[in-house]
Structure 1
Amino acid sequence: MKLKKWIIAIIVLIIVIIGGRILIKDYFFPYAHKDAVIKYSKEYNLDPLFVLSVMKAESGFNPDATSHKNAVGLMQITKETGTWIAEQMKMENFNVNDLYDENTNIKMACWYLNNLSKEFDGDRDLIVAAYNAGRGNVNKWLKNNEYSGDGKKLTYIPFKETKHYVDKVNIYYKIYKRLYN
């Protein structure tokens, strides 16, 4: 009788563990907008799990999200940055309302992340910091000995919001890699 109870307990535990993993993947760390994320990640040489991590941090996968800084859509692109990206991408007839279109928002964000990756030699922390605080700020920080010892990596991020954001994206990225790799 004791053996039967142990077997039932083990089966229940396995179901809870498997169910918990499915719950975490489906509700907390979904592979949202999979087709667009895969397509544009590949086109712009990015890890799709990294793109998902940024998307989760930016909007929580809400395509209608608007921030207090007027950033919009899944990847929270500001209208000014969106207009600049559209010019760089040579997008004809771009309208800032296009940023609410999931496909357009993901494509433009992937282009921008790739552009930042080229500028910052693929350093994920610098890419994420620049996505949040702007490339100009990151370049200033890299030139300041208080924030960078070598001009290539940041030892300190002076904006608390950006430091928190970089940490959040890195945590999400580790979780996504663990769940989907």
Structure 2
Amino acid sequence: MKKIIIIILFILLLFMGINIGLKLVYPLHYTEYIIKYSSEYEIDPHLVAAIINVESNYDVNAKSQKEARGLMQISPTTAKWASNKLNMEDFSLESLYNPKTNIQIGCWYINVLNEEFNGNLKLILAAYNGGSGNVNKWLKNDEYSKDGENLHDIPFKETDEYVKKVLKNYSMYKKIYKNTFEQGQNKLDSLLGNSIIILKKMLKQFLANI
């Protein structure tokens, strides 16, 4: 009986370890804003979470060489367009480092692309990374689109890899956080998420001192 209990405990610890490991690779933070704005703009919150992970790995201070900022790496052009459409008062590019503002604009933009590309996720993601103008050009080119409605080849390597990476992340987020965005569950995941942030910071400090 004692051996059976030990085996069960071992299996439970192993499962917990795997679960924590997965959440280190596929973290989830700022669920309050993800839930609020994904609901407002009718987007799957798992998709928003996946895009944030690919774009910035949940680093609110992330900034790209192209000046894209924050969690969802919003470009200055998109930010100014969105802030006007959303009537954001006292908006500046520094506002993109605010998780609430960044996620709101990111979700708004995904919704815009969703309407433009009729819910075609691959096109939406390609446009989010490579620009909707380029996607529309590719759709008119039979070298990249056989039917004018879907992309069978993406000429930008970065955009092609981005789409594949987000789709993979999206699949993982739906599995790992299956019930997370249901009422009440997100608080538990937020607590775990905060613990993971602390653990990651400690790990970085440890590696920096080696």
- Taking structure 1 as the reference length, the TM-score comes to 0.92
Counterpart in the other structure of 1:127: 124
Q: Could you tell me how far apart the structure 1 residues matched to 2:17 and 2:31 are?
A: 22
* CA distance, structure 2, for counterparts of residue 7 and residue 63 of structure 1: 44
The match for 1:90 among 87, 92, 107 is 87
> Counterpart of 2:53?
56
1:103 alignment partner in structure 2? 100
Gaps (5+ residues) in structure 1? none
Q: Distance in 1 between matches of 2:3 and 2:71?
A: 48
Counterparts of 1:30 and 1:38 in 2: how far apart (Å)?
15
Task: Write out the 4+ residue segments of structure 1 that deviate beyond 4 Å after TM superposition.
Answer: 3-7
Alpha-carbon distance between aligned partners in 2 of 1:90 and 1:18, rounded to the nearest angstrom: 45
Task: Summarize deviations over 1:100-121 as a string: whole Å, max 9, x none.
Answer: 1110000000000000001011
Q: Where do residues 1-181 of structure 1 align in structure 2 (5 Å cutoff)?
A: 5=3, 8-25=6-23, 27-181=24-178
Q: Deviations over 1:50-105 (max 9, x none)?
A: 00100000000000000111101000011122111212223233211111111000
The percent identity for this pair of structures is 47
Letter in 1 for 2:17: G
Give the AA of the match of 1:63: V
Which AA in structure 2 matches 1:21? Answer: N
- Partners of 2:139 and 2:90 lie apart in 1 by 36
Q: For residue 77 of structure 1, give the secondary structure of its aligned residue in structure 2.
A: coil
Taking structure 2 as the reference length, what is the TM-score of the superposition?
0.80
Following the alignment from structure 1 to structure 2, what is the Cα–Cα distance between the partners of residues 92 and 4? 65
AA at the equivalent of 1:128: L
Runs of 5+ unmatched residues, structure 2: 179-210
1:116 aligned counterpart, secondary structure: helix
SS in 2 for 1:104: helix
Q: What is the one-letter code of the residue matched to 2:101?
A: T
Larger RCO of the pair (alpha carbons < 8 Å, separation 6+) = 2
Deviation at 1:7, TM superposition (A): 5.6
Alpha-carbon shift at residue 30 of structure 1 (Å) = 2.4
RMSD: 1.5
